[in-house]
Amino acid sequence: DQLHSLLLTQSLLDDFKGYLGCQALSEMIQFYLEEVMPQAENHGPDIKEHVNSLGEKLKTLRLRLRRCHRFLPCENKSKAVEQVKKAFSKLQDRGVYKAMSEFDIFINYIETYVTTKMQK
């Protein structure tokens, strides 16, 4: 069952760690901001407040990433991000629950990305 398999897979983490890290992270932030969070906000005022807060933090991170993008232009799209988006779409209405329930994994991947870049 699709609900029992992870949206955010090891291949996505591998992209975050690799030369496509900046691009993959940027695409995932855009995915959460434009596809997941707007749907999640529709599930009540309490949820909307929390989702908005998370969204603001992602927007701040995206601005910082854009600064790095000026120096590291990425043309290639992440195949792992495409797989996440496909799996999300297949889940239809349940996709938003799945994506938000894995937000902690996304944060861990961001942390891995940042620490990988700091070591270089």
Give the model confidence (pLDDT) of 14-70 as tens digits: 999 988 788 899 899 999 999 999 999 988 888 889 999 999 999 998 888 777 665
Cα(16)–Cα(82) distance, integer angstroms? 14
pLDDT, position 111: 92
CATH number at residue 49: 1.20.1250.10
The pLDDT, as a whole number, for residue 74 is 63
Half-sphere exposure of residue 68: CA atoms within 13 angstroms, side-chain side: 15
Give the span between the Cα atoms of 80 and 83, in whole angstroms: 5
- Structural domains in the chain (count): 1
Question: Which residue range(s) make up the domain with 110?
Answer: 2-119
Q: Please, which pLDDT band fits residue 114 given cuts at 50, 70 and 90?
A: confident
Q: Which runs of E-coded beta strand occur in the chain?
A: none
Q: How many angstroms separate the CA atoms of 81 and 11, rounded?
A: 9
pLDDT at 15: 92
Q: What is the pLDDT of residues 71-113, one digit of tens each?
A: 555 667 889 999 999 999 999 989 999 999 999 999 999 999 8
Q: Is the pTM of this model over 0.95?
A: no
